[in-house]
Amino acid sequence: MRTSGHTGEAAPRPAPHIARGTGWWGMLLLQLVLVSMLAALLFSYFYLRDGFDTWPPAPAPAPALGLTAVATGLLVLSAVPVAAVHLAARAGRSDGRGPAALAAALALGAAFLAVQFADYSANDIDPQRDVYGSLFLALAGFHHVNAVLALLGLGVVLLRVRSGGMRPREQEMVVTAAHYWYFVVWSWIVVAATLYLAPRFW
Amino acid sequence: MTTLQDPPATEDRLAATWATQPGAAGWFTALNHKQVAQRFLVTAFVFFGLGGIQSVLMRWQLGSAESTFLDAQTYNELFTMHGTTMMFLFAVPVGEAFAMYFLPLMLGTRDLPFPRLTAFGWYIYVLGGIFLYSSFLFGQVPDGGWFAYTPLTGPEYSPSSSIDFWLLGVTFVEIATIAGAIELVVLILRYRAPGMKISQMPLLAWNVLVTGIAVIFAFPPLVVASVLLELDRKVGTHFYDPAAGGESLLWQHLFWFFGHPEVYIILLPGLGIVSTIVPVFARSRIVGYSLIAVSTVAIGILSFGVWVHHMFTTGIPQLGLAFFSVASLFIPIPSAIQISAWIATIWQGRAVWKTPMMYVVGFIVIFVLGGVTGVMVASVPFDTQAHDSYFVVAHFHYVLIGGILFPVLAAVHFWMPKITGRLLDERLGTIGFWLTFIGFNVTFFPLHITGLQGMPRRLYTYAESTGWELTQAIATWGTVVLTLGLLMTLGNVVHSARYGERAGDDPWGGETLDWYATSPPPAYNFRGIPEVASRSPLWDTRPFRPRYDPATWQDELREPRAPVRQVVLTSVLDAAPEELVTLPQKSWWPLVMAVALTVALIGTMIDVYPLALTGVLAAVVTGVAWIWDRQDQR
Ligand code: HEM
Ligand SMILES: [Cu+2]
């Protein structure tokens, strides 16, 4: 058995411990909370959509896909550098490329948000006009709040790793933040499919 | 004599590391599970007192026909606040509070896994509660019922701020509940004493595990529902507004998806408390441990399948009605299994009739009666008749007071000696029990009859010609007796905390590790972490002598090399020791975070958005600080 780590300890923790530490468990349960919220929002979306004959209701146009396709691409891409840092942290490696990878993920995530916000005005989304706009706000808003929080988390990790390398605290932070970011990525695919694709089929 | 310069003896390093700093700063930054759980307990009981006062006022009003003691509006406010307080601010937190105090002890560890989250949870619980209750100061008390149905609570029919107090305050408390659930689940999975396999952990841990997972799935939809309604009210969205394509029934779906599991979230810790107390006072190992554990899991799963039974009268398709009705009829089976197991345990042993055991038996009686009426209202034709009548009021008080209040009172009598180190008075306890038990039944049994006579619930008064006065008056006298009983228990607790007889570490001949710690337990709970190999460690070898191997990690835990708080992490199923980890010692961030969020809440409430934004930004900055700065070493 390994006895570990108070603050200031320099040696990284080995993979089996860091991969399933309490931070990992806490993040897993937090994600279940978020999944439950997402499910409630999706239920609301389809439940309310069911009350309409045409969706989206006039005067809203069927949402155009161009911008959001670009945004989604950026977001999916951002998972790559995050995964690279995640794997390095699990292996206890501190190879100096961590900060650059995290910075790339941050930039991609921020670009995703910027493109999406351009999309909302282009697609004429108005939460106060009717329930269609309201639902758009709810689903996209839920996602974007998580995205901003996860980006902040990645930013903190970036600063910590740059100044201190991969010590046990940073390792745990990377694992936790990376899993949060994966949630942001996959939940966006669900949210975008609902908001942008579902109206084309139902 | 030691001088100030002397380094603390090694014996003391453990105590020094775990000690909370003295003074106000120490109080606000304290993280230890027992200290924070005590605050949770006291707060929950204060809210119970407030909810109780509201119910006494209502009962006084209802005791006579055409009473003018309360007007209709006040009555609406009182039942709303009473229901809200009891369900959100008392019943759920009190179960978590007991678990937060006693599970680390029963599982043989030293703290909860996320100590700062523990403290944060308590702060937002209190602040959310205060926020909700501050509505009294502004004369805008929520009046939409404890389930706040739209459209009544929407912007059109509730233009004042009363519903905002409800939505925002309750959401805070829900977040506290979710945080507590996450802690407890991780605690149960990863912090068990080495050797305590998952199939050997105390049944209370099974119950709290299932409760925690149910909270994690059930509470978020209510948070979502509340946020959507708040958006409708503040931002002008249309989720519940039929005029712009929304639907009122959406609230009911989201609410009851939470609301039904909520009943079991309240109930399960109570069942766990009973499963803990029964074997100790029956002087016999529990019969059917595995059956009880499995049926606990079954209750948790089934509880999610039945939410529509609260909406039988809303015009749902026939097939749906049949499905949900049948699912509701399945629920009693696992409950019946547990009750049989307790009775078998009592039968097999030699029961010792102390106060905790009396409350347990009182619970079984009341709960069975509540279950019978529950099966009645689970059938669609009967529910169509009894829906929204006093029959339902009687039914859910039997289930809730039976399901949580009696087990909680049993737990108070059982565990107070551990918390304070002093025994409660047995005679006062017995009188208190009988007053509570009789008072409860006299209060609520007659209401079944009032309900069958057709009296609707939430009626602030009634004409004499209805013939409801007799049963309602009996109920009010019952409440007087019930209140006396509860006050007697309160007096007993307060008095014994100072003057009670010394309890010693193990006054009941307990089964689980909590009785191995001293009374009251030191901040670090156990000097050496016990290794266990059975379900009843304290009954296998007497006196209990855990294995101790000085050359191992045990040694480091006993005498930490550095001033750090250490616990041992064990594997999920077999509890094989895996790693020693350190925990934070103290922190300001939980308090600062809770205050920042409250500022955001107040800003939203009074429509001063710069203030709300300030609160949100402060919370974000605090969040960064929270992650960055963690003080593990003194
Ligand atoms: C301590 C003794 C108690 C008394 C005397 C009492 C009495 C009452 C009364 C008179 C009402 C109003 C009935 C109506 O007009 O429809 C009520 C409603 C309610 N009570 Fe209690 N109660 C007690 C304890 C509890 C407890 C412990 C809980 C939950 C854990 C609880 C949960 C509720 C709920 C959820 C409502 C419905 C509120 C609503 O209609 O929105 N009560 N109670
Ligand atoms: Cu139900």
> Does the beta-carbon distance from B114 to A26 stay under 8 Å?
yes
The per-residue pLDDT for B372 is: 82
Top mean pLDDT of A197-201, B120-124, B527-531 is at B120-124
Residues 55-84 of A with CB under 8 A from B: 57
Q: Give the residue, out of B82, B263, B443, with the most ligand 1 atoms within 8 A of its beta carbon, to mutate for a pocket test.
A: B82
Q: What would the mean pLDDT of A110-119 be, rounded to a whole number?
A: 96
The per-residue pLDDT for B374 is: 76
Ligand 1 neighbourhood includes B34 CB (under 6 angstroms)? no
The per-residue pLDDT for B5 is: 39
C-alpha B264 – ligand 2 centre gap (Å): 9
The per-residue pLDDT for B11 is: 54
Mean of pLDDT over chain B: 91
Using one digit for the tens of pLDDT, what is the confidence trace for B330-378? 777 888 899 999 999 999 999 999 999 999 999 999 988 888 887 777 7
pLDDT tier for residue B10 given thresholds of 50, 70 and 90: low
Q: What is the spatial distance between Cα B595 and Cα A74, in angstroms, rounded to a whole number?
A: 36
pLDDT tier for residue B552 given thresholds of 50, 70 and 90: confident
Here the tokens at position A20 are 């399933």
Least distant ligand from the CA of B310: 2
> Does the beta-carbon distance from A7 to B581 stay under 8 Å?
no
pLDDT tier for residue B554 given thresholds of 50, 70 and 90: confident
More confident: B312 or B576: B576
The per-residue pLDDT for B370 is: 85
Top mean pLDDT of A97-106, B16-25, B96-105, B145-154 is at B96-105
B631 vs A contacts (CB less than 8 Å): 7
Q: What is the spatial distance between Cα B402 and Cα B263, in angstroms, rounded to a whole number?
A: 12
The per-residue pLDDT for B320 is: 66
CA of B355 vs chain A CAs: smallest distance (Å): 38
Residue A117 has pLDDT above 90, yes or no: yes
Mean pLDDT check: name the lowest of B97-101, B235-239, B384-388.
B384-388
Q: What would the mean pLDDT of B289-295 be, rounded to a whole number?
A: 95
Using one digit for the tens of pLDDT, what is the confidence trace for B43-62? 999 999 999 999 999 999 99
Mean pLDDT check: name the lowest of A135-144, B341-350, B394-403.
B394-403
pLDDT tier for residue B1 given thresholds of 50, 70 and 90: very low
From the list B216, B237, B579, which residue is nearest A4 (CB)? B579
Ligand 1 neighbourhood includes B36 CB (under 6 angstroms)? no
Using one digit for the tens of pLDDT, what is the confidence trace for B492-537? 999 999 999 999 999 999 999 999 999 999 999 998 888 898 999 9
A36 vs B contacts (CB less than 8 Å): 216-221
Determine contact, residues B634/B566, Cβ cutoff 8 Å.
Answer: no
pLDDT tier for residue A16 given thresholds of 50, 70 and 90: low
Residues 81-120 of B with CB under 8 A from A: 113-114
Residue B629 has pLDDT above 70, yes or no: yes
A133 vs B contacts (CB less than 8 Å): 237
Residues 206-245 of B with CB under 8 A from A: 216-221, 223-225, 228, 231-232, 235-239, 241, 244-245
Determine contact, residues A35/A87, Cβ cutoff 8 Å.
Answer: no
Asked if this assembly's ipTM is beyond 0.85, the reply is yes
The per-residue pLDDT for B3 is: 34
Provide the number of CB pairs (under 8 Å) joining chain A to chain B. 147
Determine contact, residues B351/B283, Cβ cutoff 8 Å.
Answer: yes
Q: What would the mean pLDDT of A88-108 be, rounded to a whole number?
A: 88
A25 touches chain B (CB under 8 A): yes
B181 vs A contacts (CB less than 8 Å): 29
- Which sign, positive or negative, has the C-alpha torsion B559, B561, B564, B568? negative
Q: What is the spatial distance between Cα A88 and Cα A106, in angstroms, rounded to a whole number?
A: 18
A169 vs B contacts (CB less than 8 Å): 630
Least distant ligand from the CA of B460: 1
Q: What is the spatial distance between Cα A191 and Cα A119, in angstroms, rounded to a whole number?
A: 15
pLDDT tier for residue A140 given thresholds of 50, 70 and 90: very high
Task: List Cβ<8 Å contacts ≥24 apart for B424-431.
Answer: B424/B355, B424/B492, B424/B493, B424/B496, B424/B500, B425/B492, B425/B495, B425/B496, B425/B500, B426/B354, B426/B355, B428/B488, B428/B491, B428/B492, B429/B355, B429/B489, B429/B492, B430/B355, B430/B358, B431/B485, B431/B488
Using one digit for the tens of pLDDT, what is the confidence trace for A177-198? 999 999 999 999 999 999 999 9
